[in-house]
Chains A and B, each alone.
Chain A
Amino acid sequence: MRNHFIKTLSELIRENRDIYLITGDLGFSVFENLMESYPHQFINVGVAEQNMIGVASGLAKEGKIPFVYSIANFPIMRCLEQIRNDICYHHLNVKIVSVGAGYSYGSLGYTHHGVEDIAIMRAMPGMKVIAPGDPVETRLATKSIAEDGGPCYLRLGKSGEPPVHEVDPVFSIGKAIILRNGADITLISTGSILDEVVKASRLLEKDGVSVNVASMHTLKPIDYTFIQTAVDSKLIVTVEEHSSIGGLGSAVSEILAATGVFSTPIIMLNAGSTITKQIGGQNWFRKRIGLDAESIYRTVRERLSGIR
């Protein structure tokens, strides 16, 4: 995902001299070409996230389109007040890009686990929150947010995520991408867990379960219409590599509650909300918290057996 983002952003930077890439001293081995080719549009602010957001705000105030880049929690937590007061209060056209969502950097320890970011960024007024499902969506999302005037948080995995889409889907901010149509259950995924969700849906289909699968790449503004149609399913399942608080499950539940739909059961699969003392790779974490394809499949089957 990271490489697709950088490749797409490099093309955008070449086409538009007002697009800037600002990094907090991260991007070794991936930004070198950009640094050399477009030195006036590349700024390394050093290890200084508060200043990074402040500088980006100042640039955006003068008409630039800064993409701020860092990893995991770094571009949003230390500098959250700058995001709220400088970017959001002034509704500035700053794109905050974080590489390493969820447990992408699982083995680096709790400091590097990006599992509360959606909740935090959803709460920021005017902030769009986008978590593409695969490298294809990453490319399309990067282009879309560059054209969209306003604050945006782009949540990316790291690298090596498999492409889920074989052909480019229609990508529109705020509009879920439907990967499979089915009548029984609806699986809603956000971020790079999409691959596991699609695999789980294949296992379910082998059992004769008809599955609706959506990549909810935009968490804010969320696709209200899609969620309203999902209530016709026997079961809604949200899957996210994120805390149980404030992410996709919360967003979907808020809509169901607001529209008075309490009859459709919902399973919210997520990372819970506890400190993880142990470390491990992303796949290890996914299995541990029940977010790998097999676990998703089993959880859904168990629940369905109760419904039928």
Chain B
Amino acid sequence: MKYRYNGTTEDLAKGIRIRSLKMVCKSKSSHIGSCLSIADILAVLYGQELAFNPEKPDWIERDRFILSKGHAASILYAVLAEVGFLTTEDLSTYCEDGSLLAGHVNHYVNGIEFSTGSLGHGLSVGCGVALAAKRDKKSFRTYVLLGDGEMDEGSNWEAILFAPQHKLDNLIAIVDYNKLQGLGVISEVINLEPLIDKWQSCGWSAREVNGHDHGELIDTFSSIPFENNKPCVIIAHTKKGKGVSFMEDKLEWHYKSPDSDQLKIALNELNNSG
């Protein structure tokens, strides 16, 4: 059964942005820009799209969600806390000595399906999970959220060729296309365009969405599978640092951690947003 968050997905997105910012500030860790970029996607997925039960994390029919861009860990932990897998106290240990809440997602944390951190792993694993579900005639879906920078990894393209071959229409890839990667602008480092054409030419059924528009995301998720017998990819156009104006579209916020004054400004902006 799909989980229903007790509130709007917009509220959830705001809540996890705030939690993520506090975690990253406290631990002086990186990747806040990458986290804010996927806040709305995670809020829609965990707020109403995914089937799961925090009381039974191993429930066999749960949808599987794999965060391939494992560095966006803090906001995934944040959403897991909002839906009941983790406590606020758990989140306070993020990146602390002896904590399980690593800077890249760790499956020893309740609710984390698969550990990642090195890029280009999630989609292949997702293919295996989706294939097992097909073989066992199970109805759950497998969602893999990828970063745009990790589309450079050859392993992803191996998986992109594999999934259509096996008609994995229970597999959904989401690309967080914020147009910035580790050391520069995507189009100037390794241009991915025409990205949607590439996926489609490999046999995927593809849609492009505004990755911050909840209505658009909800409509898109509700029309999965887009075509029978084809895996789906959602190219989500996003903004790195979305929701905090001084972080938006700024490469430096892939690495920098806000200081207490910057955190105050950021939280103020979020709290006063719709």
B132 x A50 contact (CB < 8 A) = no
Closest to A82 in B: B121
The interface centre, meaning the residue of B127, B128, B130 with most chain A CB atoms within 10 A of its CB, is B128
Which of these binds chain B: A61-69, A123-131, A224-232? A61-69
Closest to A89 in B: B115
A58 to B133, CA, bound (A): 10
B125 x A86 contact (CB < 8 A) = yes
A58 to B123, CA, bound (A): 10
A58-B124, A58-B125, A89-B115 are contacts. A51–B131 as well, Cβ < 8 Å?
no
Within A48-81, the residues touching B (CB, 8 Å) are: 48, 50-51, 53-64, 81
Q: Could you tell me the distance in whole angstroms from the C-beta of A136 to the nearest C-beta in chain B?
A: 33
A64 x B125 contact (CB < 8 A) = no
A51-B127, A54-B127, A57-B125 are contacts. A62–B118 as well, Cβ < 8 Å?
no
Q: Size of chain A's interface in residues, with CB distance under 8 A?
A: 25
The reply to whether the CB of A46 lies closer than 8 angstroms to some CB of chain B is: yes
A57 to B161, CA, bound (A): 18
B129 x A58 contact (CB < 8 A) = yes
A57 x B115 contact (CB < 8 A) = no
B132 x A63 contact (CB < 8 A) = yes
B107 x A90 contact (CB < 8 A) = yes
Within B184-236, the residues touching A (CB, 8 Å) are: none
Query: Which residues from chain B contact A85 at a C-beta distance below 8 Å?
Result: 115-118, 121
A54 x B115 contact (CB < 8 A) = no
The reply to whether the CB of A40 lies closer than 8 angstroms to some CB of chain B is: yes
Within B10-51, the residues touching A (CB, 8 Å) are: none
A99 to B255, CA, bound (A): 44
B162 x A64 contact (CB < 8 A) = no
Which of these binds chain A: B72-80, B86-94, B151-159, B263-271? B151-159
The reply to whether the CB of A34 lies closer than 8 angstroms to some CB of chain B is: no
Query: Which residues from chain A contact B154 at a C-beta distance below 8 Å?
Result: 50
Q: Could you tell me the distance in whole angstroms from the C-beta of B86 to the nearest C-beta in chain A?
A: 20
The reply to whether the CB of B114 lies closer than 8 angstroms to some CB of chain A is: yes
A40 x B135 contact (CB < 8 A) = yes
A197 to B154, CA, bound (A): 43
A85-B117, A85-B118, A86-B121 are contacts. A56–B162 as well, Cβ < 8 Å?
no
A50 x B115 contact (CB < 8 A) = no
The reply to whether the CB of A45 lies closer than 8 angstroms to some CB of chain B is: yes
The interface centre, meaning the residue of B127, B130, B133, B158 with most chain A CB atoms within 10 A of its CB, is B158
Q: Determine chain A's interface SS by DSSP, over half rule.
A: helix
B121 x A61 contact (CB < 8 A) = no
A58 x B126 contact (CB < 8 A) = yes
A61 x B114 contact (CB < 8 A) = yes
A50 x B155 contact (CB < 8 A) = yes
Query: Which residues from chain A contact B97 at a C-beta distance below 8 Å?
Result: none
B155 x A51 contact (CB < 8 A) = yes
Query: Which residues from chain B contact A64 at a C-beta distance below 8 Å?
Result: 132, 135
The reply to whether the CB of B136 lies closer than 8 angstroms to some CB of chain A is: yes
Partner of B128, one of A46, A50, A59, A89: A59
B91-128: CB near A (< 8 Å → 1, else 0) gives 00000000000000001000000111110110111111
A81-B118, A82-B121, A90-B115 are contacts. A58–B161 as well, Cβ < 8 Å?
no
Q: Could you tell me the distance in whole angstroms from the C-beta of A213 to the nearest C-beta in chain B?
A: 42
A46 x B132 contact (CB < 8 A) = no
Closest to A50 in B: B155
Query: Which residues from chain A contact B131 at a C-beta distance below 8 Å?
Result: 43, 55, 58-59
A51 x B121 contact (CB < 8 A) = no
The interface centre, meaning the residue of B124, B129, B136 with most chain A CB atoms within 10 A of its CB, is B124
A45 to B128, CA, bound (A): 11
**Given A43-B131, A46-B162, 6 new contacts (CB under 8 A):** A55-B127, A56-B128, A59-B132, A62-B132, A82-B155, A85-B116
Complex A-B: 15 CB contacts under 8 Å: A40-B135, A43-B131, A45-B162, A48-B161, A48-B162, A50-B124, A50-B155, A51-B155, A55-B159, A59-B131, A62-B128, A64-B135, A85-B115, A86-B125, A90-B114
Residues of B within 8 A of A (CB): 107, 114-118, 120-121, 123-133, 135-136, 154-155, 158-159, 161-162
Residues of A within 8 A of B (CB): 40, 43, 45-46, 48, 50-51, 53-64, 81-82, 85-86, 89-90
